[in-house]
Structure 1
Amino acid sequence: VELRAAINAAVRANVALYPVDSRGLQAVVPGGDASQSSSGGIAAFSGRGVRQQFDSLFQSQDTINTLATDTGGRAFTDTNDFGEAFAQVIEDTSAYYLLGYASTNDTADGRYRRITVRLKRPDLRVEHREGYYAPLDFAHAGRRDREAQLEAQMDAAVSSTDLPLSVAAGWFRVAPDRFYVPVSVAVPGSAVPVTGNRVSLDVLGRVRDERGQVVGRVRDTVQVPRESTGGLAARQVLYQSAVTLPPGRFSLKVVVRENTTGEMGSFEAPVVVPDLSAAPVKMSSITFGTQLREVDRRDDQSPLRQDGVELLPSLTHVVSRQQRMYFLYEVYDAGLTEAARPELTTSLAFYRGRVKVFETPVLVRTDVDATDRGATRFRIEVDAAGLEPGLYTCQVNVIDEATGRFVFPRLAIYVR
């Protein structure tokens, strides 16, 4: 797949390749050369052994020969005169004809199509590229080609917007230097065609650190249940996964392809996992959502799951007045009172501009929910019917009464 893509790119850019085998003149020595130890016995000196050595040499030169032949160039192998290669390039590029034509075969099957150029004069010889690869549409693409398309979009410098999507990530501490980072991907249902009551999406995600190294990867295929495809245009397809990261700055890129037409979209966003070691109040990110779903109680490893119920994050923070709002967050390593237990108080305050229009009752917690992580969990429910339509700033008030320390993170919410 990689070789075909390289040849196709060169042909479309009208580039002829003249590769040179820098090993120079090659000689096949029975038993091998001095670059490796010889095998024992006399088998290496048989006709079969020497033939295998020749086959290995030809295979090592096969790729550069293919690159040269299929792009209209010439490969230089088994020679120590590298000047010949440069002279040939200068001669070939000093005088040439550029011919073009439109093919009547519009099938985008990705197959190799040969080109033949004939001359009427028998005393002349023509050198030209042997052919080209036809365009490849999604319907004709095989599994390897489809994976290559996802990888190509992942490495592309410019994001694709054919399929709209949004991505969000949070963080929850699972160890002093490790964080559970939930990744949520949302695709508008109106952008996903439904064929035969089936919807399938391919998801590829990568997390890179500041050095550009891949430190997290997501690859999955999302199948929307048949009973959920009705009315999909008015909803969204939500996919959730997670990676584990240390504190630091990262870049998250997600590519999504819908598998009916092959349209793709990508989304790239920074992810900052804080170092909580010096924080006055060690607190997770705030996850906001409007939907809960039941899950297996035995699978509560995700911080978004508690007592058999999982909070589905809202990426847009847009809520209707008929919905209920859920806020989930954790506090770690809270201070201890004289009674040797934590005392955390929290509330939510909603502001329009600088005016506070609503505040929830103060919630007090004096226990630890996850002792292995030192985490006290909060999940607060608010009825959006009590808020007028408009844009709000929600301030999450968290006070550690044992230490007198506090934190007031904020997030924007739009009520319609």
Structure 2
Amino acid sequence: SLEGGRETLATLAADTGGRTFYDTNDFSGAFSEVQRENSTYYLLGYSPSKSRSDGKFHRIRVEVDRAGVKVQARPGYFAPKSFRQFTREDKELELEQAMDLENPFVDLPLAVEVASFRRPDGKFYVVLAAKIPGSAVAFLQKSATHRTEFDFAWRATDKAGHPVAALRDTLPVKLDPDTYQQVLKGNILYEGGFVLPPGNYHLKVVARENESGKLGTFEEPLALSDSDGPTLALSSVVVSNQLQESAAAGKGSARKSKEAGGSPLQLGNRSLLPSVTRVFRADQSLYVYLESYEGKAGSKGNSTGNGSDDAPETGISAGQASRPLPSVALLFFRGGVKISEAGPFAGKLESTGKASGGKATYFVQIPLQKFPPGRYSMQVNVLDPSSDRVAFTRVPIAIMRAQLKAMGASSGG
């Protein structure tokens, strides 16, 4: 009501040391009075004798020993609230507010990699990967273990700013002494995913470490195109140095999918964890995974060895069995000069049973022992002889010197 709104404004003004003026269309008198009162004032500082971060309202009173004056001052203040005192509702509200704010949060370092893969129904499975440096995490030690917890909130919005997909997840981390030392030198890895139809979106993630309450955000545009074209359609190209047994997940990494069917990076009984930084060591292997599609084009890709049989087995028709297999080749450039190449490696055909056509999957493993340290541009060439179509994309990577064994292995990047 009008009366209720007036009381709210009056209370807000009084609580902050101000005044209210209403029931007038002529504000000249009010402005004159405000100007007069603000021409002379005292600015007082106040430090509580007992600092309490309880989020409660604490009253203060300003007194003077001069007769005939009236003191106008704010009646108190709200103390800041310690994150450890947040309720579950407080924590969820903080994530929502951080998601809606335009200003970034940078207290928790956060790197993100996004990859997209077309599904038989024409929609896209979007892989969401995040990396947080272990050295930036506040662990709580209990007995011989170190623990913490992360909250992740992902959201994709359309051009009008309306949410079209979201993923909310909590990642508990419990590390034994050996794994703890590895994570301190490496990273906490998280992977999730959701499904989106073709279109242009804005993607944002909010991550929070729940021991310290530190927040980190990351956002970028996301384009998923299904337009037909003369070239072969490719998925994103995922590079990795970690291929782990699915049952081993949980030590410094986690995966969550919002959709049935799971992630395309689930290769048989092993999981491929995307490298967010694309930095590798010479004593590691480089894993490369991508898909190519017939018919409608998919989203554009982002980014001496052995072909691998770890890609999922798929059924193909008799016609497909007799057709030439598509293949992938990898070329490594440094400073514009080709340093090495690998392949071609045959892909594996998968019949989708849809009018949109089939797809081929490619999984390649490249040992990096003979690569000199430095920055490289890896060109991925895909050839489909049956349709006389080709496609290529380039992915930047960096290779570091092999780590000394005495230092121990780090968690992946």
| Category of TM-score, reference length = shorter chain | 0.7 to 0.9
- 1:321-400 alignment, distance < 5 Å: 321-333=282-294, 339=319, 343-365=325-347, 367-368=349-350, 370-371=352-353, 374-400=358-384
| Partner Cα separation in structure 1 for residue 56 and residue 216 of structure 2 | 26
Q: Over aligned residues, Cα RMSD in angstroms?
A: 3.2
The alpha-carbon deviation at position 201 of structure 1 amounts to: 1.6
- 1:85-164 alignment, distance < 5 Å: 87-88=29-30, 91-96=33-38, 97-103=41-47, 104-118=49-63, 120=65, 125-164=70-109
Letter of the structure 2 residue corresponding to residue 318 of structure 1: V
C-alpha spacing 1:241/1:279, structure 2 compared with 1 (3 Å): farther
Letter of the structure 2 residue corresponding to residue 164 of structure 1: P
1:226 aligns with 2:210: no
Letter of the structure 2 residue corresponding to residue 192 of structure 1: V
C-alpha spacing 1:365/1:289, structure 2 compared with 1 (3 Å): closer
| Partner Cα separation in structure 1 for residue 244 and residue 318 of structure 2 | 39
1:203 aligns with 2:147: no
CA contact (8 A) 1:390 1:414 kept: yes
- Report which of the two has the higher share of helix: 1
Letter of the structure 2 residue corresponding to residue 238 of structure 1: L
Aligned to 2:387: 403
CA contact (8 A) 1:351 1:392 kept: yes
The alpha-carbon deviation at position 164 of structure 1 amounts to: 1.2
Secondary structure of 1:113's match?
strand
The alpha-carbon deviation at position 123 of structure 1 amounts to: 5.5
- Give the TM-score of the pair, scaled to structure 1: 0.75
C-alpha spacing 1:89/1:226, structure 2 compared with 1 (3 Å): farther
C-alpha spacing 1:121/1:354, structure 2 compared with 1 (3 Å): closer
The alpha-carbon deviation at position 362 of structure 1 amounts to: 1.8
The alpha-carbon deviation at position 413 of structure 1 amounts to: 1.4
| Partner Cα separation in structure 2 for residue 158 and residue 259 of structure 1 | 21
Aligned to 2:254: none
C-alpha spacing 1:214/1:334, structure 2 compared with 1 (3 Å): closer
CA contact (8 A) 2:349 2:361 kept: no
Secondary structure of 1:277's match?
coil
| Partner Cα separation in structure 1 for residue 112 and residue 28 of structure 2 | 50
The alpha-carbon deviation at position 128 of structure 1 amounts to: 3.3
| Partner Cα separation in structure 2 for residue 292 and residue 137 of structure 1 | 40
The alpha-carbon deviation at position 162 of structure 1 amounts to: 2.1
1:242 aligns with 2:193: yes
Q: Which has the larger radius of gyration?
A: 1
The alpha-carbon deviation at position 122 of structure 1 amounts to: 6.9
Q: Structure 2: state its 5+ residue gaps.
A: 248-259, 297-315, 401-413
Q: Among residues 125, 129, 140, which one is paired with 1:184 in the alignment?
A: 129
CA contact (8 A) 1:337 1:402 kept: no
The alpha-carbon deviation at position 348 of structure 1 amounts to: 1.4
The alpha-carbon deviation at position 350 of structure 1 amounts to: 1.6
Q: Structure 1: state its 5+ residue gaps.
A: 1-20, 27-57
Aligned to 1:320: 281
| Partner Cα separation in structure 1 for residue 13 and residue 114 of structure 2 | 46
Higher relative contact order (CA 8 A, sep 6+): 2
The alpha-carbon deviation at position 304 of structure 1 amounts to: 1.0
1:71 aligns with 2:16: yes
CA contact (8 A) 1:165 1:266 kept: yes
1:168 aligns with 2:110: no
| Partner Cα separation in structure 2 for residue 73 and residue 221 of structure 1 | 43
Count how many residue pairs are aligned between Structure 1 and Structure 2: 357
- Report which of the two has the higher share of strand: 2
C-alpha spacing 1:384/1:366, structure 2 compared with 1 (3 Å): closer
C-alpha spacing 1:224/1:250, structure 2 compared with 1 (3 Å): same
| Partner Cα separation in structure 2 for residue 166 and residue 213 of structure 1 | 25
- 1:9-24 alignment, distance < 5 Å: 23=2
Letter of the structure 2 residue corresponding to residue 218 of structure 1: L
C-alpha spacing 1:130/1:160, structure 2 compared with 1 (3 Å): same
Aligned to 2:408: none
CA contact (8 A) 2:349 2:359 kept: no
CA contact (8 A) 1:198 1:229 kept: no
CA contact (8 A) 1:321 1:384 kept: yes
Residues 323-356 of structure 1 show CA distances to partners (whole Å, capped at 9, x for unaligned) of 1111111112269999456531222122223333
Residues 158-177 of structure 1 show CA distances to partners (whole Å, capped at 9, x for unaligned) of 32322211011011112554
| Partner Cα separation in structure 2 for residue 155 and residue 366 of structure 1 | 43
Aligned to 1:47: none
Aligned to 1:289: 240
Residues 339-378 of structure 1 show CA distances to partners (whole Å, capped at 9, x for unaligned) of 4565312221222233333222322346326546732211
Secondary structure of 2:343's match?
coil
Letter of the structure 1 residue corresponding to residue 278 of structure 2: H
Letter of the structure 2 residue corresponding to residue 349 of structure 1: L
The alpha-carbon deviation at position 408 of structure 1 amounts to: 1.0
